[in-house]
Amino acid sequence: MLPALSWSWPDSRGSPSWSEDVAAVVQNQYMDGPGVDQIFADENALQDVLFPLAADLGTVRDLAGVDSVTGQTLVLNHRTSDSYGNIVAETDNTVEHNFAFAGRHWDADAGLYYNRARWYDPEKQR
């Protein structure tokens, strides 16, 4: 089951953001970009910020973050997936992000992508 989502608009000049709320504790807060389902940043409860870098279809290939000591931006996790959305390799699977294939929300408990009106199973390819 997907967590409750809440939207917020900081001001008329700011970007909209939304948060996942599990048991009234914000787990992640996202900053959306101008594109459909485009996420610029993912801030977790520890205030660590990930910047998902997506390919053509919106599939998140890299997760970048800023090193707090050096101030450098580093690729923390590089993902490789097959044509159906199965993640086949990651450089660091401890760096997690809830969006993957075609920029869609991945529900790890169900093993499915949420495509708004339907669920997608990459194992069954439908």
For 33-83, what is each residue's pLDDT tens digit?
Answer: 887 778 899 988 888 899 999 998 889 999 999 988 998 999 999 999 999
Alpha carbon distance 1, 93 (integer Å): 22
* Residue 78 pLDDT: 96
* Residue 91 pLDDT: 96
What is the C-alpha end-to-end distance of the chain, expressed in Å?
19
Model confidence at 13: pLDDT above 60: no
In whole angstroms, how large is the CA radius of gyration of the chain? 15
* Residue 34 pLDDT: 83
Query: pTM to 2 decimals?
Result: 0.74
User: At which residue do the structure tokens 């408990």 appear?
Assistant: 109
Using left for φ > 0, alpha for ψ between -120 and 50, and beta otherwise, residue 81 falls in: beta
Model confidence at 10: pLDDT above 60: no
